[in-house]
Amino acid sequence: MEILEDLKGSVQFAKDHHVYKFLAQTPHSSISIVGWEPGQVSPIHSHPDADEIYYVIEGEGLFNDGRREVRLKPGDTVVFPAGEVHQVTCLARMVLYRVQAGADRHAEPVPDWPQR
């Protein structure tokens, strides 16, 4: 058993990119806390073999799966299933709790939104 305490105390921010701070990892999952500054945008990407789950602790952001873009705020959760192309945009300084579930959690950049 592993206990994670003081999640917000682990948050880090940078002006030019969002910062992932890994809190725990197993062969099949990882948990991190992520600090985002307003205006930061992730590349359009997917995780082919891992689900990616975000819980918004503070701030606001746009979460896009190429079909719709949703504004999420504290208390909201989004699940991007393995292989789903997505992008995140920070609107107000954001702290996210992220869980990735899958043995291979690497991100693959996608040049543009897939045709649906």
* CB contact at 8 A, 61 and 37: no
Average of per-residue pLDDT across 22-41: 96
Collapsing DSSP to helix, strand or coil, 8 comes out as helix
> pLDDT tier at 115 (50, 70, 90 boundaries)?
confident
Q: Looking at the predicted structure, is the pLDDT value of residue 2 above 90?
A: no
Average pLDDT, the chain: 95
Q: Looking at the predicted structure, is the pLDDT value of residue 7 above 90?
A: no
Q: Looking at the predicted structure, is the pLDDT value of residue 55 above 90?
A: yes
Average of per-residue pLDDT across 53-59: 98
Candidates 101, 111, 97; CA nearest to 4 is 97
Q: Looking at the predicted structure, is the pLDDT value of residue 116 above 90?
A: no
* Cα–Cα distance, 40 to 22 (Å, whole number): 19
